[in-house]
Structure 1
Amino acid sequence: MMIKIFLVEDEIAIRKGIKNSIDWEKEGYEFVGEAGDGELAYPMILKMKPDILITDIKMPFMDGLQLSKLVRKELPATKILILSGYDEFEYAKEAIKLQVAEYLLKPISSAKLLDVLAQVKEVIRQEQEEKELIKKYREDMKENRELEKERFLNQIITQNLSLAQILETGESLGMDLSAPLYNILLLKITENGGKQETYAEIESALDTLSGVFSFRRGVDEWLFLLTADDAEKMERRIESCRKTVRQITEKTDPPVEYFGALGNPVERLREIKNSLKEAEKKFAFQYLKKWNQILEIPVRDVGSSENPQTEKNENEELLISSVQVDKLNHKIIENFIHTGLRREVSNFVDDYFMSLGEKSVQSLMFRQYVAMDFYLAAVAFLERLGFSSKELVERCGDLKEMEQVIQTIEQTKEYIKKVLDATLECRESVSRKRYSDLLKEAVSYIEHHYEEEDISLNQVAASVNISPSHFSTIFSKEMGETFIEYLTNVRMERAKQLLRSSTMKTAEIAYAVGYKDAHYFSYLFKKVQKCTPREFRTQV
C-alpha cells in the first residue's frame, strides 16, 4: 500500500532537504507534490488527495494552521503532520484542536521523520482495514437492511413513531424523508425466466432517482415512497418512475409485464397511510385490467369510464336480459383465488363490483349468479388442494342459505369477501406446511455447509428449488431472522465451541467455520458477541 505524501514548507532549503533525503518509493511512500505556502498548496492538495500532509506552521499568505483547518474540512481522512520551529503552547493547543497527527519541532532528521511516518502509516492501514471490514459487513447484511426497511415502513403506516423518530430512522437507512409532499407507488412484475435480474434492475434504477425510496412487499411487489417539493415536481417524479419501469420491462426477452398504482399526494408523513389505502384500492385492479400501466386516476373513475352508470331506484328489480352478463369473467375470479392476498380481498371485491356496473349489480338474480360463481370457484379450488367442500360450508354456509345473504349489494359483497378470505386462509395453511418442510431442508443444508465460505442465499434457495427473493421472504417471516443472521449465528456458535474446547488458533477457527479472512471473522465475532475471540477464550 503506497501512502501519498504532500509537503508544504516556505524555506526552500528545508523543503528540498526533506524531499531529497528520503527514498520515498523504497520506504513505501509516493511523494505527490510540494508547495511554498498554504495558498499555493491548497488547490494542489484537493487535486492530489494525499494520505499524509506535512506542513510548516509559519508561512506567508496562508500558514499551516489555516491550511490544516481547510484540509481537515474537505479531506478528513488525510493525516496532518505539523513542523514548527516554535515550541509554544498556543500552537500546540491549536494543533490538538485540529486533531493533527503529530506536532514536530524543527530541525528534524530523516530517521525521526520516517519513524513518525511509519506510525501514521500504521494508523492509516488500520483505518482502511476497518473501512473494508465495515464495507464487507454491510454487503453481507444487505438482506437485514431490507428487513429493517420493511419494519420501518410498518412503523410509519401504523404511526408508532414520532415525526422526529421517523426522520432519524430514515436518515440511518439512507432516506431523507423531510419534504412538503408525499405519495405512494405500488408496483408488481410478472413471472418469467429473467424476473430476478429485472426485479433487481428496476429496484436499483428507481432507488437512484431523487426522492424515491423503495420498500419490498412480499416476493414480487414493491412500495415506493415518493417525496417532492411541490405538485409539479411530484408529477415529474411519477413520470420518471413510469418511464424507467417501461424502458426496463420492454427490453427484456421475453418481455416482463408490470402493473402499478399511485395513491393520493399528502402533505404529512402521518397521512402516508391514506395515500397507501388509495393506492391499494387501485392496485386491486391488477386482476381486472390490462397490465403494463400505472393507474393514477381516482378509484371512483376507474370503472365508470367503461361502465356508464344509470340512475335507478335501488328497490327496482331489473330483468336479467338488461344485465351486462358479458362483464363476468370466471378467469378473473380463478386468478385471484390462485394469486391474490388476504389483504387484497376487500379492494378486489369492491373493484370487481365496480367493473360490473351499477345497473347490473342492482339485480338480485345477477348478484346471486355472481355470488354462486365465486362460491363454486372456491369449492373447486379447495378440492384441488385436498380440502372437502365442508370446509367452506362450515365457514360461509351452503348454497341454500345464499339468498338470505345477498339481499343488498353490500351484503353480497361482504358474503363474497367472507368466501374469498376463508379460501385464501386454507390456501395459506397449505403453503405454511410446504414452507415448514422447505425450511427444514434449508436449515439442514446450512448445518452441513456452513463451513464453506461461498455458501449464499442463492445457493441455499437453489437447494430447495425456489427463487432467492421468495426464499428470503419466507425465511425471514417463518424463522424470525434473515438468512445471513441465521448463518452468522450458526457459525458463531460453532466458533465458540472451538474457542472453548480446542487449542486451534483464531485464524484456524475462522477458516473452520467458513471465514478465510481471520480479521473479518474477529470483526464479526466482536460485533455479535461484544468481545474478541481472545477475550471470549479467556473468560471463566
Structure 2
Amino acid sequence: MYRVFLVEDEQLIRIGIKELIQWEEYGFKFVGEAADGELAWPLIQKEKPDIVITDIRMPFMDGLSLSRLIKKELPDTLIIILSGYDDFNYAKKAIEIGVSQYLLKPLSKDQLVEVLLDLKKKKDKLQQSEQYRNQFSKEVQEYLSSSRRSLFDLLVSGKTPIPQILERAEIIGINLTAMTYNLVLLMLEEDLLHSNYTASSATIQDQIEQIFAGEPNIIPFGAGIELTAFLIQSDDDSIEQTTQRCAQALEQLCHSAEQAPQWTVVTGNPVPRLSSIPECYRLARKKLYRTLTYPTSSPQTHTQTKSVLDFNLNDLDASKMDQQIIRKFLTNGVLEDAEAFTEDYFNSIGSTGLNSTLFRHYVLLNIQFTVNAFWDGLSLEGHTPGGLPQLQQKLETAISSLPNMQQYVVELFQETIRYRDSVVTDRYREMMAKVLDYIEENYSDPEIGLNKVARVANVSATHFSTIFSQQTGKTFVEYLTETRMKNARELLRCTGKSSSEIARAVGYNDPHYFSFLFKKVNGLSPRDYRNGKGEK
C-alpha cells in the first residue's frame, strides 16, 4: 500500500478528505496530517510518505515551500497541490518544483480518488522498473563475479591460448591490453575447517570493489575462497608505482578493519606479456607462503650455514621449527606449493644441522607430530588419508639422507592437503545439501536472497557465492530462478491457478515481472506455455 500524508489548514476540508475516502480499499494507507507546512515537515521526514496532498496557501509555511523541501529530501515522493486560485504563476512554480498534480478547489471525492489512482499506476510502474533493475543488477553482479573467477583460472593456468583469453575478457568488459603486467595477492587467513568467515573478512572483501572502482589499471579477481588477486596493468615506467599503490591500499584497508583477521599482502615481479602471468602467479604464491611462514623476516633471509664440525643444537633458532608455521601452510596452502614450501622450510633450518642423522630424526618427528595433530583436527568420520600407509612405509628410509627426508616431507604435505581438500569438499557438500533443501522449501518467499541463504549456511555472502558457484556450476540467482521456474511450469500445467497466483506461489510479488522472467527463461509466456504452444 502507498502511504498518503495530508497538509491542509482548513479543518473541515482536512477531516472531509481524511474520512470520506476509503483509503485501504483503493490501495492506500493514510499515515498523517498537519495544519500547515511547518508542522507537516518533521512528520513527513519521519513517515516518508509516497504521496503528499497539500494546500498551496497556508500560514507559517505554504505548500510550494513545503514541496521544495520534499523534492529535495524525498525526491521519489509524489505531490498533489490543492489550490483555491486559478493562478498561472502558482501552477508554473508547482511544475518547476516537480509537483505531480495541481488541482483546483472545490473538488469532489471522485476527482481526488481518480488522481490518486493515476499516481498509484505511476508508482506501480516505477516500482516495477526498480524491481527489474535490482534483479538485473543482482544477476549481473553474480555473473561477473563468477566469470571473473573463471577468467583468472584461465589466465594463470597457462593452458589457454591468449586470443581466447582476450575474447573471454572482452565479453565481461575487461581490457587486458597493456605494456607490462604484475600481480598483487591478498590472503585473508581463515581456518576453513573450524571457523566461519568473520564479519570483518566479509567487509574487507565487499570494500575491495569500491576501492578500486576508479582504477582501470587494477583489476580484482577472486582467486579462491581465501585469496584475492589483483592484476596490475601499466607501462614499464609506472608498473612499480601502480603495484605499490594497490598493495598500500589493501594494507590500509586491512589495518582499519575492526577485529581484522590475519592477512598478508605480497607483490609479484612485473612481466612483459600476458603469457608470462602463470609464472608471475607461481612466484607470487611462493613469496606469499614464504611470508606466511616467516612473517618476521625477509623471504630471502635464511639461517647462515655452518661447518658440520661446528654444529651445535644450542645455535639453532627454535622459532624456525614452530609447529604453527607448518599448520598455517597445511590450512591455507595448495598442492603445487608443497615442494617450494618444504624447500624454504628446510633452508630456514639450515643444511648443517640437517646433515646430522639425530637432528633429522628430531625435525622429522616434529613435522610428523604436527601433521598427525592436523589430521586429528579434521576428524570427519569415514575419512582417512588414502596415501598414509604407503608413506609410513617410507618413514625409516626418509631419515637416511637429507634428499630422502625432503622428498618424504613433500609427499606427506601433499597427501595431507589432498586429505584436507576432500574433508573440506565433503563439509561443503553437507552445507550445500542444507542450503539446497532450504531453497526448495523457501523459494516461494519473495525475500529469499543471497544474503539470507548465506546466513543459513553460516558464512559470509562473498564466501557463500564462491562456494555455491563451485559446487553447482551456477550462480545463486540462476539456481533460484531455475527452481522457481520449474515449479511455475508444474503449476501452469497441473492447476487452474491464474498467472498472478502462480507468480506469488513461486516468490514473485509482481506478476508482470514474473511473466517477463518466465518468457526470458522458457521462451514462451505463461499463457502460451499453459496452452501447449512451442511443443513439438
Is the shorter-chain TM-score for this pair beyond 0.5, marking a shared fold?
yes
C-alpha change, 1:535 and 1:469, in structure 2 (3 Å) is: same
C-alpha change, 1:417 and 1:407, in structure 2 (3 Å) is: same
Contact 1:457 1:468 (C-alpha < 8 Å) held by counterparts: yes
The secondary structure found in structure 1 opposite 2:233 is strand
With 379-388 and 425-434 compared, the bigger mean Cα shift is at 379-388
Q: CA deviation at 1:322?
A: 7.1
Question: What code does the residue aligned with 2:419 have?
Answer: C
Establish whether residue 282 from structure 1 lines up as the match of residue 287 from structure 2: yes
Establish whether residue 424 from structure 1 lines up as the match of residue 407 from structure 2: no
Select which of 227, 239, 249 maps to 1:244: 249
Listed one character per residue, the Cα deviations across residues 138-174 of structure 1 (whole Å, up to 9, x for unaligned) are 3234223212111112222234544333223212222
Paired position in structure 1 for 2:303: 307
The aligned runs of 1:45-444 (5 Å cut-off) are 133=132, 136-190=135-189, 192-230=198-236, 232-290=237-295, 302-309=298-305, 319-321=311-313, 324-326=316-318, 327-384=320-377, 385=379, 393-398=388-393, 401-444=394-437
C-alpha change, 1:278 and 1:335, in structure 2 (3 Å) is: closer
Q: Distance in 1 between matches of 2:275 and 2:524?
A: 41
With 203-212 and 386-395 compared, the bigger mean Cα shift is at 386-395
Q: CA deviation at 1:461?
A: 2.1
Q: Distance in 1 between matches of 2:127 and 2:380?
A: 59
Contact 1:317 1:363 (C-alpha < 8 Å) held by counterparts: no
Q: CA deviation at 1:522?
A: 2.9
Contact 2:169 2:176 (C-alpha < 8 Å) held by counterparts: yes
The secondary structure found in structure 1 opposite 2:232 is strand
Select which of 446, 453, 465 maps to 2:446: 453
Contact 1:260 1:283 (C-alpha < 8 Å) held by counterparts: yes
Q: Distance in 2 between matches of 1:215 and 1:221?
A: 9
Contact 1:183 1:225 (C-alpha < 8 Å) held by counterparts: yes
Q: CA deviation at 1:347?
A: 2.9
In structure 2, runs of 5+ residues without a counterpart are: 1-87, 98-123, 191-197
Contact 1:185 1:260 (C-alpha < 8 Å) held by counterparts: yes
Q: Distance in 2 between matches of 1:460 and 1:137?
A: 19
Question: What code does the residue aligned with 2:223 have?
Answer: R
Q: CA deviation at 1:535?
A: 3.2
The secondary structure found in structure 2 opposite 1:194 is helix
Select which of 440, 445, 462 maps to 2:455: 462
Q: CA deviation at 1:247?
A: 2.1
Establish whether residue 478 from structure 1 lines up as the match of residue 471 from structure 2: yes
Question: What code does the residue aligned with 1:305 have?
Answer: T
Contact 1:317 1:364 (C-alpha < 8 Å) held by counterparts: no
Q: Distance in 2 between matches of 1:284 and 1:218?
A: 15
C-alpha change, 1:521 and 1:222, in structure 2 (3 Å) is: same
Listed one character per residue, the Cα deviations across residues 371-390 of structure 1 (whole Å, up to 9, x for unaligned) are 22111222233244268999
User: How many corresponding residue pairs?
Assistant: 407
Q: Distance in 2 between matches of 1:411 and 1:208?
A: 52
Contact 1:441 1:464 (C-alpha < 8 Å) held by counterparts: yes
The aligned runs of 1:496-515 (5 Å cut-off) are 496-515=489-508
Contact 2:264 2:292 (C-alpha < 8 Å) held by counterparts: no
Paired position in structure 1 for 2:31: none
Q: Distance in 2 between matches of 1:303 and 1:236?
A: 21
Question: What code does the residue aligned with 2:149 have?
Answer: E
C-alpha change, 1:229 and 1:132, in structure 2 (3 Å) is: farther
Q: Which has the higher contact order (CA 8 A, sep 6+)?
A: 2
Q: CA deviation at 1:176?
A: 1.1
Question: What code does the residue aligned with 2:274 have?
Answer: L
Contact 1:187 1:258 (C-alpha < 8 Å) held by counterparts: yes
Q: Distance in 1 between matches of 2:241 and 2:460?
A: 34
Question: What code does the residue aligned with 1:525 have?
Answer: F
Q: Distance in 1 between matches of 2:356 and 2:214?
A: 51
With 359-368 and 456-465 compared, the bigger mean Cα shift is at 359-368
Question: What code does the residue aligned with 1:492 have?
Answer: M
Contact 1:207 1:214 (C-alpha < 8 Å) held by counterparts: no
Contact 2:380 2:423 (C-alpha < 8 Å) held by counterparts: no
Establish whether residue 487 from structure 1 lines up as the match of residue 490 from structure 2: no
Q: CA deviation at 1:196?
A: 1.0
Q: CA deviation at 1:339?
A: 4.2
Contact 1:320 1:366 (C-alpha < 8 Å) held by counterparts: no
In structure 1, runs of 5+ residues without a counterpart are: 1-22, 33-124, 292-300
Q: Distance in 2 between matches of 1:214 and 1:362?
A: 45
Q: CA deviation at 1:265?
A: 1.1
The secondary structure found in structure 2 opposite 1:260 is strand
Q: Distance in 2 between matches of 1:132 and 1:390?
A: 50
With 141-150 and 360-369 compared, the bigger mean Cα shift is at 360-369
Question: What code does the residue aligned with 1:369 have?
Answer: Y
Paired position in structure 2 for 1:77: none
Q: Distance in 2 between matches of 1:136 and 1:212?
A: 28
With 354-363 and 469-478 compared, the bigger mean Cα shift is at 354-363
TM (normalized to structure 2)?
0.67
C-alpha change, 1:198 and 1:157, in structure 2 (3 Å) is: closer
Q: Distance in 2 between matches of 1:185 and 1:135?
A: 32
The secondary structure found in structure 2 opposite 1:397 is helix
Q: CA deviation at 1:308?
A: 3.4
The secondary structure found in structure 1 opposite 2:270 is coil
C-alpha change, 1:390 and 1:182, in structure 2 (3 Å) is: closer
Q: Distance in 2 between matches of 1:140 and 1:246?
A: 31
Identity of aligned residues (%): 28
Contact 1:499 1:509 (C-alpha < 8 Å) held by counterparts: yes
The secondary structure found in structure 2 opposite 1:466 is coil
Listed one character per residue, the Cα deviations across residues 453-488 of structure 1 (whole Å, up to 9, x for unaligned) are 110122122223233333323322222322222111
The secondary structure found in structure 2 opposite 1:492 is helix
Question: What code does the residue aligned with 2:491 have?
Answer: L
Paired position in structure 2 for 1:58: none
TM (normalized to structure 1)?
0.67
C-alpha change, 1:379 and 1:246, in structure 2 (3 Å) is: closer
Q: Distance in 2 between matches of 1:162 and 1:526?
A: 37
Contact 1:187 1:222 (C-alpha < 8 Å) held by counterparts: yes
Q: CA deviation at 1:201?
A: 0.9
Q: CA RMSD in A?
A: 3.4
Q: CA deviation at 1:288?
A: 1.4
